[in-house]
Amino acid sequence: MTALARPTHGRMIGGVCAALARRFGTSATTMRVVFLVSCLLPGPQFLLYAALWLLLPAEGGADRTRTAW
């Protein structure tokens, strides 16, 4: 298993599903379908997604914050 970080490539909105898919060794499409189906059930799925979007670091986070001055 790899570290949990939002990838810079292959993400749709925030990269949360792509990060979880990479972590658990499944495809991003499968993880997105699982998330969409889980939204039909009662619960805080959108809040969890938003929290993961804010809390998960972006892949190569230090390199993305540098400017090319």
41 assigned to some structural domain: yes
Residues of the domain holding 39:
1-57
Residues 6+ apart with CB under 8 A from 11: 17, 18, 19, 28
Residue 66 lies in a domain: no
Tens digits of residue pLDDT in 11-62:
888 899 999 999 999 999 999 999 999 999 998 999 999 999 999 988 876 5
Contact, 11 vs 1, CB < 8 A? no
Does 26 reside within a domain? yes
Give domain status of residue 68, yes or no.
no
In this structure, is residue 63 part of a structural domain? no
Which own/partner contact pairs does 62-69 have at CB distance under 8 Å and 24+ positions apart?
64/8
Q: Is the pTM of this model over 0.85?
A: no
DSSP-assigned beta bridge partners for residue 58: 6
In a domain, residue 6? The reply is yes
Examine the pLDDT at 3 and tell me if it is beyond 90: no
Number of domains in the chain: 1
Is residue 4 situated within a structural domain?
yes
Tracing tokens 């889980």 back to the chain, one arrives at 38
66 pLDDT band (50/70/90 cuts)?
very low
